[in-house]
Amino acid sequence: MNQNFAFKAELLLILVTIFAALGWVFSKESLAGMPPLFFIAMRFLIGGGALLLIGKKYFHGVQWREVFPVILIGAVMAMAMLFWIMGLKQSSNLGVGAFIACLGVVFVPFIGRLLFGDRPTLSIWLSLPIAVLGLAFLALSDGLELEISHLYFLGTAICVAFQLNLLSRFLISMHALVLTSIQLTTTGVLLLIVSLFVEGTPSGISINIMGWLLCSALISTSLRYLLQMYAMSLAPVSHGAVILNLEPVWAAIFAMLWFNEIMTIGQTIGCFLVFIAMLTSRWPQVRSIFIRSKRKTL
């Protein structure tokens, strides 16, 4: 692989993780003036619609039999986002929530074992107790008090693991832009239906809140996925997957800078353990990165 392309991809993927982490801040600000389900529905409808307009030429020739499984995957994504936004609404510490929600990468092989009989590797089995220990520190750092938001974020991680398993199983040949646009739009439509039944129609949205919504939809959704797809075409998928683990780290940093959130010692230890679990689950990819880096220096 051209080293210039690889370096460019790494920088772009780091930028992707920053945009994803900023999405936590944008969304939290938006919730100050919008019902949670209505907000997340609008975020994904706008984001999916923007990708549709950008990549409409790739939709030519797409058939229903290809679209239907993507809609089903979008329904799973909708469930994940429902858990996520309810967790964000009730969370007292955005950084902690980000680490829990991003545990989906650890759960992927176990969900694969449950659904399809896959055999997790040794690194996956080693990552599980580390993740559980990290969750224990996060949930019990203030005593035997468990925030409901922690359960919502855990539900997000499990749903994301289901979503990634389904994506890997369906032989979807469509362009990544089309795939992402359909998933986001499906998520937005389903959550909007739920919102209208549960929350009703908002009486009004201020210009300030609308700005946060557009930042969330266009920067942390549309632009993020566009850059991610482009960057992943320049670098090995395994390499990109490791870099994307940086999202909760950035989210925790932005939460401290923007909301003045401070983690307890127990929460800090928990976040560190969860991050180690995420890297351990990706150990073959991490190891290959170290090997390539060592060869470059020789």
Q: By the 8 A CB rule, do 138 and 270 touch?
A: yes
Structure confidence by residue, pLDDT tens digits, 79-129: 999 999 999 999 988 999 999 999 988 888 888 888 888 777 788 788 889
**What residues does each domain of the chain span?**
3-297
Helix (H) or strand (E) holding 162: helix 148-169
pLDDT at 243: 82
Give the integer Cα–Cα distance in Å for 57 and 61.
Answer: 10
Give percent helix, percent strand, percent coil of the chain, each to the nearest 5: 80, 0, 20
Give the H/E segment covering residue 291: helix 283-297
Q: What pLDDT score does 1 carry?
A: 47
Looking at residue 101, its pLDDT comes to 93
Q: What's the distance, CA 23 to chain centroid?
A: 10
The pLDDT value recorded for residue 249 is 93
Place of tokens 């955005």: 94
pLDDT at 172: 63
Q: 């959550």: which residue's tokens? A: 191
Mean pLDDT of the chain: 87
- Which residue ranges in the chain fall short of pLDDT 50? 1
Residue 241 vs residues 27, 87, 185, 267: alpha-carbon distances, Å: 24, 24, 24, 25
pTM: 0.89
What amino acid occupies position 97? G
DSSP-based three-state secondary structure for 79:
helix
The confidence score (pLDDT) of residue 3 equals 60
Q: Report which DSSP code applies to 204.
A: -
User: How far lies 73's CA from each of 68, 169, 184, 220, in Å?
Assistant: 9, 11, 10, 20
The pLDDT of residue 35 is 94
